[in-house]
Chain A
Amino acid sequence: MIKEKIFFAILSLAILLATMTSASLAAVIVGQRVTFDPAAPRPGETVTPVVHFQVEGGPVNLSLSYGAVLPSSGATVVGTAITGTFPTGTNTARLSRFTISDPAPHEICFSIFVKIAGGTGAPQLLIERACLKRDIRVASTGTGERGVLPDLASGTLPDLVIVRPELNTKKPSAYLGAGEATVQFSIANLGGTVAEGVEWKVVINFDRCVRWDYNPGGLDRGGLPPVVAKRVGSIPRIAPGQSVFVNVKFNETVMTYIDSGQTQRWVSCDIYGAKIVVDPNNRIREGNEDNTFIFPRSRTPINE
């Protein structure tokens, strides 16, 4: 009788030990949520999914991966698995990075998978459908500007304005050493009385001119002074509210091509911005008056 009791006691103890051992071998992972770093990525940016989960029966060595589904196309991007040892309790893990495409899809949904690192079992779904959606936010409320309206009574407002000026350059033949440019603009009469024969002047710079001399001994390269070209013309009377179109062509020979048999020389220049001056008082003004327009320095290279 005593022997039986001892036998059952040992058996119970063995069963208890066996149960405890098996329990310590199995780990339970509870998925909680997914966040992203940065929290609100923009198109073209790279984002790191951060998985939050709890471990029971740790520490445990885990492999975590994700699949990102783009619902609009049905395409799935599988993230590279990361591994790590996680203790019992609440844990976070930063998964492999994901680049938001540009343009961004309207939704990306992530599912997180887990398995024992190095284990042969299939990854199991830990968190389902953590989604990022495309949205719009205010990036800048803008910069206010202050405009002082001209005093019409004082007569400071010009009657003539230059409309839609354009500077077009044309690459010339490499051996001509010339630059071609066309300046187009309109002159509009905004309502004032404009005399006939109003003059306009266009000034254009053929600047940064460089000379190349190819000699039997080698290349000799040197700078040249800028060439400033001017055209002056006049326009017929412009009725109030009307405009006239002006097209001015420049074809400046900066330096004639020379081929002496020994030396070949040619020149290249940049064409800088053109200045247009319209004089409502039939007088050309050199200064930067209200009705003068200077192009931005176009830096348009020619003959390169």
Chain B
Amino acid sequence: MKSLILCGIVLFTVFVPLPSFAETVIVGERVEFNVPGLDVIAGEPDIGIRIYFRVEGASVNLSYMEYQTNPPSPPPPTVIVSSAPSAPGSGTFAPGSHFVRFTYRLPRDASRMPYLPSKRVCFDILAHFQDARFPTQRLIRDACLETFMRLTNGGTGRRVTLP
């Protein structure tokens, strides 16, 4: 009988794991850019940046998120307190999927046309926690915008008679 109980304890110990500590994880998922055509920008030349991330384990308290650009851009990075739909206006993010929005303001050139300050600008998204003992966490690395030339008009053809 005793050996049976002992066997049972051993089997229970081996096959029934003890409840493990659920670690808290924050995972950067993706970035979506809202890039309006530069020729239709009437007001402020802002590019919308939406950061999707996921929290696992326990809730996290973010103090703010920020982006850093490479190369550094002339306009200072916008710093926004969290604006997740699940917790508007607060910095607490429950386990699950969230997003926050940023805007990135483009400078204007001498002819008042907005432009990307470099032919390629890459963004890193950083999360800062309310508890200063948590190190800053990078969520997204190298989300990049680039300048290109778009054909807007194929031209107006003419009829030419050559002698």
Interface residues of A (CB under 8 A from B): 25-36, 39-44, 47, 53, 60, 62, 72, 100, 102-104, 106, 108, 110-112, 114-116, 119, 121, 124-152, 154, 157, 161, 190-191, 241
Bound complex: CA A41 to CA B151 (Å): 10
CB-based nearest A residue for B132:
A190
In the assembled complex, B31 has its CB within 8 A of some CB on chain A: yes
CB-based nearest A residue for B159:
A30
Asked if A141 meets B149 with Cβ closer than 8 Å, knowing A29-B160, A191-B132, the reply is: no
Question: Which residues of B sit under 8 angstroms from A133, Cβ to Cβ?
Answer: 38-39, 149-150, 152
**Given A33-B157, A149-B60, 10 further pairs, Cβ under 8 A:** A33-B154, A36-B149, A40-B149, A40-B151, A43-B149, A129-B153, A134-B147, A135-B149, A141-B30, A147-B127
A85 to chain B, nearest CB (A): 13
Question: Which residues of A sit under 8 angstroms from B25, Cβ to Cβ?
Answer: 146-149
CB-based nearest B residue for A121:
B163
Q: Which of B132, B135, B143, B154 has its CB near the most chain A CB atoms (within 10 A)? A: B154
Q: Residue A104 contacts which of B37, B131, B149, B161 (CB distance < 8 angstroms)?
A: B149
In the assembled complex, B110 has its CB within 8 A of some CB on chain A: yes
Contact B26 A149 (CB under 8 A): yes
CB-based nearest B residue for A129:
B155
B interface secondary structure, majority? strand
Interface residues of B (CB under 8 A from A): 21, 23-33, 35, 37-39, 47, 53, 57, 60, 106, 109-111, 113, 115-116, 119-120, 122-123, 125, 127, 129, 131-135, 137-163
A interface secondary structure, majority? strand
Q: Residue A42 contacts which of B27, B60, B140, B148 (CB distance < 8 angstroms)?
A: B148
A99 to chain B, nearest CB (A): 12
- Pick 24 A–B contacts, CB within 8 A, sort by A: A29-B162, A30-B159, A31-B155, A35-B154, A40-B148, A42-B147, A43-B149, A47-B149, A102-B119, A124-B162, A125-B160, A127-B155, A127-B158, A128-B158, A130-B154, A132-B149, A132-B150, A134-B147, A134-B150, A140-B143, A140-B144, A144-B29, A149-B26, A149-B134
